[in-house]
Structure 1
Amino acid sequence: MMLHTNTNIYDVIISNIQKFKNIPDEERLEISFDTSDFKDEIKKLERKVLLYKEKISTGNQNKSAQYMQALNDIFHQVNSSLASVDLSNLISIMDTIKSCNSKFNIIEILDKLAETKNNIVIIGANGSGKSSFVSSLLNSSISNMIVIPAQKSLFYFPDASNNTLYKTSIKDVENYQRKDFISFSKGDMQGYTLRQEYLENFPVLVTALTNDYIQHGMKIAEQDKDALPKDKITFNKLRQIWGILLPHIDLKIDSTSRTIYPVVDGNQYNINSLSDGEKCIFYYIGNILLAPSNSYIIVDEPETFLNPSIYNKLWDLLSKYREDCQFIFCSHTVDFITSRINSTLVWSKKFSFPNNWDIEYVPHNTSLPTSILAELLGSRKRVLFCEGDDKNSIDFKIYSSIFLENYTIIPAGGHTKVIQYVKAFNELNSLHNNKAVGIIDGDLLTNEIIHKYKEENIFTLPFNEIEILLFSEEVMESYLKDVLGQITADEKIQKFKAEFYKSIKRNKEKIIVAKIKKIIDSKLENYRIQNTNSLEELTNEYKNLNTLVNVHEEYTNISSEIDKYLEENRYKELLNLCNLKEEVSKGLANKLLDSNYVEKAVYKISSNKTLNKFLKESYFNEILIQN
C-alpha cells in the first residue's frame, strides 16, 4: 500500500515521538544521560517526519514508483521501531531514534535522486563514498532494492549433500540480493561465513534458475492453467539475452544435476569452463531478471571483468529489458559513463562517516564533454587544459612531464577547444569548487591577443609550438651531455644551431607571411562594423578594412627583425619565431642531435628534476603562480 493512501501512519509516529518528549528530565539525569543530545535527535526525527508528510501531500505522487515504495518501507520501519521500544530504557530509546534518523538520511538521498526518472550513473573520486553509499542503501532494508557488488565469486560448486539442491529457489536469490557484500568484501562486516554467504551466490543463482525452469516446464507438460508461456520463463529470457551477446555459446539445463552447462559447437562443458567475463555476464543477466518489479537496481563497477564492446551492449539490453526498474550505476570507467544514453550523472562529492553524503547532479547543458567531466569531477588538483588530440600527443606528454605534480592534465584538441573548455569548467565552479587554466601554442599570436587570453586564464607559450621547447639550449645540453659528454654535446649543439640559422634564412618569407596573417586575423577578430546607417556607409567601411594592417610595413619590420637576429646569432629569439616544427623536430634533430630526439628529450624532462624545475621557472612561472 502506497504511503499517500495511509496518512494515519504519520499521526501514529508523531504520537510516539511525543511520548519520548514527555519523559521527564529527571529520569534522564539519573543515568547521566545527555539531555540536549536526546532532545536534538527527537526534534530532528519529528522535523523529518513532518517534512515528508508535507512532501507526500503536495506532489510527491509524481515521484517514481521505486521512490514511493522505498518511502513507504522507511515509514513503516520507523513506525514499527518506535512502537516497540521500551519506554523505560532511555538508552534503547536514544539508539532507536538515531537509527530512525539514519533511515531518513537514506530517504533524503533517494529523494534527491528521484528528481530524475532516468537511470543514474554515480561518479566520484576514490574515497568519495560511492561504495559506502551503496552499502547504506542496502542496509536500509528497503524491500525494492537490490545491489550487485563489484567483487563477486563466480565459481560454481553443487551442494555436496544434496540437502538444498532441489529446494533452492528464486527466493534464495532475492535473499542474497539484499545482503551487504560490498562491506563484507572490504572486511567491514563480521558474522558472515565466506562459504555460506559470499561463495554461494553464483551456485544459488544457477540452481535456482534450473529449479524454476523445471517447475514451470512440468506445469506446461501438465497443461496447468497457471503455467507460464515458455518465453516468460526466466531461464529462457536469460538465454535469449545471452544469445544476443554470445551467440557462439548455447546454454542448456541439466535436470538431473540441477545445473546449467554451456554448449559450443555441439560439445558440452562445465559452467566453470566459461571465462570470468562470460560468467559475469550470466550473473548480471540472472540477477537483473530476478529483481522485484519497480526496483532500484544498484550496480557497483558494472564493467568488472568485461570489455567495453560487451558491457555497453549488455547494460543497454538489460536497461531496456527492465524498464520498470531504475538502475543506479557506480563507476570510475569513462567509457562506460559516456556510453549511458538517457542517463543522469550524479557526482558523489563528499562522504562523512557514517551516513552523510554530499551529492550533486552534473549539468547536461555544458559544452564540456561527459568524458572530461567524468574524469575531472573529484580531481584534487587544479586542471590544465592543453592542445593535443589525446594522451599520446606530444603536448600531453610534455605538459605531463612538467606539471603532473601540480595539475590534472587534459588534452582538449586545438586552441579553440582549450579556450572553450577552460571557460566551461570554470563556469561550473559552484559544483566542483575547482579551477582550470589553459595553455596554447604561441602560434605567432600578437601581444594584444596574448594579453586578452591571459585575462581568461589562458596562457600562451613563448614558442609557436610546444615541440620547439625541446630545442632550447637547456634541454639539448641536459640530454646530450649525459649521453655524449660535455665536449661532444657542445659540438652537436653548435652544428644544430648553424643549420637552424640556415633553415630560418631559407624559410624567412614563410615565417614573415605567417606572422602577418596572424596580425590580420587578430585585427579582424576584434573589429566590428560601426557605420550601418546606409548601404553606402557600410560599403565604404567594408572597402576600408584593408587599411587595418599595413602589410608592406609589417613585412619590412619583421624582415628586418629576423635579419638582425640572424646577424647577431640570437638563437632564443629566432626559436620563438620559428614555425618550422616538422623540419626542425624530425629533420634537423634526428640528423644532428640523436635519433628519435623528441621522445628522448621528453623523457629527460620528466626524469631530471633540475631541468624540470628550470623549465617551470623559466617558461611557465605564471601558471605555477595560478596554482
Structure 2
Amino acid sequence: MLLTLSAEETINNFLNDIKVEKEKSNDSSYSKSLISIESKANDVLTELKGEKISHIFSLRLDDFRKSTIGLSVDRLKNEVTSVHFTKEGVDNNNLLNQMKKILNDFKIIKYLFDFSQHKKNIVICGPNGSGKSAFASFLKSSYLSNLIVLPAQKFLYYMDLQSYQNKTIEDYVKVEQKDSLKIVRDGEPFDINNPENLHFSVSQDLMHRFTIAINALVNNHVEIALEDRKKNKKSGNTFLEEVQDIWNSFFPNIELFVDQASRVLRAKNVNSEQEYYVNSLSDGEKSCLYYLASIFTAPKNSFVVVDEPETYMNPAIYNKLWDILVNRRNDCQFIFISHNKDFISSRINFSILWIKNFNAPDSWNLEEISDQNNIPIDLLVSLVGSSKDIIFCEGSASSWDNKLYSQLFINDKTIIPVGGHDQVIEYTKAVTRLSKSLNVKAFGIIDGDGRSDEEMESLSKKNVLVLPFNEIEMVFFDEDIVKSVLEPFNKMDNFSKFKNALFVKLEEKKNQIILNILVDEANYRLENEKICNRNSVEEIRQNLTNTYSSINNFIEKNYNELENKINCIISTNDYYGALKICNLKGEVAYGIADRELDNSFLERALTRIEIDDDLRKKIRDKYFKKIS
C-alpha cells in the first residue's frame, strides 16, 4: 500500500505546487494553462483513489499472476511518481501531456490487468462495428514499454535506404512503441517539408517498420557473428537464425540469407539458385517474415497484441505460425484480435473474449465465452460476430433453405445452416440459453416432414418454426411468387399447366408420398424415444417393444388418413394443400416446374424475391410471422 500512497502523495504535492503557482500568477494565459493541468491532475488523483487502480497499485510484484503485468504496473508507478512541477513544463505543454499520458495508461492498465488474470493467452472477437480495430489502436496509444501492438494494416515494402541500414533491435522496438496517434494527440505536428524534424522521422519510421525490422535482425546477426569470431566460439542462435529456422519449415524452397557486402537480407530460390530482393516475396511470405521479426525482437515479458493475425496468409500457414511463435515466446502474453473462425477455432489453451458493447472512444465491455453449451467454437464465433438475431436452418451454405432465408431476412437476421433438423433444434435451444450473454435471439426453421400439430406447437415453444410444407422447395411455388416470375412475361397460362401436372403427379405418386411421410415421422419418433429403464434385459426389451408397437400403431392409423387427405386435395384441386403435402421435390422442382413454368424456375423465383421488397414481405407475413 506504501507505493500507492507514494503515488498519491506525488500528485498531491504536484497539485499544491500548481495552487501556489496560480496564486502568484498575473498572466491570464499562463493561469489558464495551470487550470487545465490542475484539472487533469485531479483526474489522476481520482483514479489513484479509485477501487481498480488502488487495488492494482497495492499489489507487490510477486502478487501478480504474470510477470508481464507486474512490469507494466511497475513502470506506470514510476511514471506517476516522476511527476514534478516546472514552469517550463507548463509553457511547452509537457505537464499537460504527461497527465493525459498517465490517464490514458490508467485506462489501458485496467484492461491489461484483466487480461493477466487469465492463465491463458487471449483471442478477442466481435461483430463488425464492435470496435475491434479501435481497441487495437487504443492499446497502441500506450506509453508502457512492454506492450507491443502489431496492426492489421502493414506497409510490407522493403526500402533499401542508407538511413535505415544501421537500425538495431532497440531501434525497432522503439518504433513499435510509437505511433502517429500519439504524436497528434500530444500536439506535436508533422513537418513533411523538414526531413530533419523528429516527428517527420518517426512517421517515416512507422511507414517503414518492415524495413527497420529486417535491418534490425540483420545488424543484430552480423554484430553477434563478429563478436563470436573474436571469441572464437558460437554463443547461440541469433534472432535471424531463429527466424530462418522457422521460415525454412514453411518455405523450404526459399532461402533467406544476408548479403555480407551490403548487410541486406536477400532471398534465393533453392532449386534455381536465383537470388532476388525481399520485395519479390509474396504478400503472405512478407507478412510471415514481418511477424517472425516482430515477435522474436519483442521485449521480454511483453503483452503482444496482434490485430488480424491471419492477414495475407492462408490457414495452413497462419495457424501453424502462431502456434510456433506463441510456444517460442511463452514469456509473453498474446492477445489476438480476430474474427476469423478458422484461426479462433484452431487456438489451443486460449481464453476467448467477445466485445459485448463499445462506447466510443475508449470503453469496451469484454466478456469471456466460458460456457459453449456444446456449440462448436466456429459456430459460436459466428454468433458473436452477428449484430442481428440468428436463424438456424437445415442444409448447407448452398442449400435452398439458406438461399431463400438469406433473402427473406436479408435486413434483420443472420442465417446459419447447420445440417439436419435435429441440429437446428439443438442449436436453437443452446443459443437461447446463451441469448442474454450474446445479446441475440435464436430461431430455427425446419421442414414440415409430416409432423403433427402437437409436435409443431411443442417446437414453436422452443423458438423452432415448422414449415407448413414438407419440403422447402415447395415455398417457391407459392402463388404470389409464381405470379411475380411469370406475369412480367405474360406467361400465366404456364401456371395452369403446372397446377394440372402437379395434381397428375400427386395421383400417380400418392402412395410414395404417404410412405415418405410415414418414414419421416417414424424416424423422428425413434430419434426422440429414450430407454429409461435399465434394471434388466427384460425391461429394455419391453421398452423397445412398446416403442415399436407405438410407431406401428401410428403407421396403421395414419396411412388411411393420409390417403383420404391426398384424395381430397386432388378431387378439390386444393393447390395449397398439394404444396403442403408434396414431398417429391426432385420431380416437381426440377421436372414439372422447369418444363411447365420456366427453365431454372427456382433460380428465377429467388431472383424475384431478392429484388422485390413487397414480395418478400408477403411471404414473410404468410409463413414466417412468428419470426418477423
TM class by shorter chain equals 0.7 to 0.9
Contact 1:251–1:260 (CA<8 Å) still a contact in 2? Answer: yes
Equivalent positions of 1:259-408 (< 5 A) are 259-264=264-269, 265-389=272-396, 391-408=397-414
Q: Distance in 1 between matches of 2:287 and 2:132?
A: 21
Counterpart amino acid of 1:178? Q
Counterpart amino acid of 1:568? T
| Residues 1:412 and 1:109: Cα distance change in structure 2 (over 3 Å) | same
Spell out, residue by residue over 1:440-470, the C-alpha distance to the aligned partner (whole angstroms, 9 max, x if none). Answer: 1111111111001111111111111211111
SS in 2 for 1:210: helix
Contact 1:378–1:432 (CA<8 Å) still a contact in 2? Answer: no
Corresponding residue number in structure 1 for 2:240: 235
Superposition deviation, residue 599 in structure 1:
1.9
Spell out, residue by residue over 1:506-525, the C-alpha distance to the aligned partner (whole angstroms, 9 max, x if none). Answer: 22122223334455566667
SS in 2 for 1:68: helix
Equivalent positions of 1:591-602 (< 5 A) are 591-602=595-606
Contact 1:103–1:140 (CA<8 Å) still a contact in 2? Answer: yes
| Residues 1:224 and 1:138: Cα distance change in structure 2 (over 3 Å) | farther
| Residues 1:611 and 1:131: Cα distance change in structure 2 (over 3 Å) | closer
Contact 1:585–1:598 (CA<8 Å) still a contact in 2? Answer: yes
Contact 1:149–1:299 (CA<8 Å) still a contact in 2? Answer: yes
| Residues 1:102 and 1:210: Cα distance change in structure 2 (over 3 Å) | closer
Contact 2:118–2:351 (CA<8 Å) still a contact in 1? Answer: yes
SS in 2 for 1:428: helix
Matched, 1:221 2:229: yes
Contact 2:449–2:521 (CA<8 Å) still a contact in 1? Answer: no
SS in 1 for 2:626: helix
Counterpart amino acid of 2:179? D
| Residues 1:277 and 1:24: Cα distance change in structure 2 (over 3 Å) | closer
Q: Distance in 1 between matches of 2:100 and 2:523?
A: 66
* Aligned equivalent of 1:10, options 4, 19, 22: 4
Contact 1:119–1:343 (CA<8 Å) still a contact in 2? Answer: yes
| Residues 1:503 and 1:349: Cα distance change in structure 2 (over 3 Å) | same
| Residues 1:216 and 1:544: Cα distance change in structure 2 (over 3 Å) | closer
Corresponding residue number in structure 1 for 2:213: 205
Counterpart amino acid of 1:134? A
| Structure 1 gaps, min length 5 | 1-6
| Structure 2 gaps, min length 5 | 26-30, 191-198
TM-score (norm 2): 0.86
Deviation larger for 88-97 or 115-124: 88-97
* Aligned equivalent of 1:258, options 250, 254, 263: 263
Counterpart amino acid of 1:218? L
Q: Distance in 1 between matches of 2:590 and 2:382?
A: 33
Corresponding residue number in structure 1 for 2:572: 568
Corresponding residue number in structure 2 for 1:4: none
- Number of corresponding residues: 603
Corresponding residue number in structure 1 for 2:195: none
Corresponding residue number in structure 2 for 1:509: 511
Superposition deviation, residue 287 in structure 1:
1.2
Corresponding residue number in structure 1 for 2:196: none
Q: Distance in 1 between matches of 2:534 and 2:515?
A: 32
| Residues 1:95 and 1:257: Cα distance change in structure 2 (over 3 Å) | closer
Contact 1:102–1:355 (CA<8 Å) still a contact in 2? Answer: no
Superposition deviation, residue 9 in structure 1:
2.3
Counterpart amino acid of 1:43? T
| Residues 1:141 and 1:92: Cα distance change in structure 2 (over 3 Å) | closer
Spell out, residue by residue over 1:88-116, the C-alpha distance to the aligned partner (whole angstroms, 9 max, x if none). Answer: 98999887666534322212211221222
Contact 1:449–1:522 (CA<8 Å) still a contact in 2? Answer: no
SS in 1 for 2:356: strand
Corresponding residue number in structure 2 for 1:3: none
SS in 2 for 1:156: coil
| Residues 1:38 and 1:155: Cα distance change in structure 2 (over 3 Å) | closer
Deviation larger for 189-198 or 86-95: 86-95
Contact 2:308–2:338 (CA<8 Å) still a contact in 1? Answer: yes
SS in 2 for 1:260: strand
Spell out, residue by residue over 1:360-419, the C-alpha distance to the aligned partner (whole angstroms, 9 max, x if none). Answer: 111253322222222222532221111112x22211111011111121111121111111
Equivalent positions of 1:465-476 (< 5 A) are 465-476=471-482
Contact 1:383–1:409 (CA<8 Å) still a contact in 2? Answer: yes
Contact 2:10–2:80 (CA<8 Å) still a contact in 1? Answer: no
| Residues 1:533 and 1:127: Cα distance change in structure 2 (over 3 Å) | closer
| Residues 1:425 and 1:616: Cα distance change in structure 2 (over 3 Å) | same
Corresponding residue number in structure 2 for 1:105: 107
CA RMSD of aligned residues (A): 3.5
| Residues 1:75 and 1:499: Cα distance change in structure 2 (over 3 Å) | same
Superposition deviation, residue 137 in structure 1:
2.4
Corresponding residue number in structure 2 for 1:459: 465
Superposition deviation, residue 596 in structure 1:
2.1
Spell out, residue by residue over 1:115-149, the C-alpha distance to the aligned partner (whole angstroms, 9 max, x if none). Answer: 22322111122332222322332332222221211
Matched, 1:45 2:48: yes
SS in 2 for 1:623: coil
Matched, 1:169 2:163: no
Q: Distance in 1 between matches of 2:513 and 2:62?
A: 67
Q: Distance in 1 between matches of 2:119 and 2:224?
A: 34
Q: Distance in 2 between matches of 1:9 and 1:379?
A: 45
SS in 2 for 1:171: helix
TM-score (norm 1): 0.86
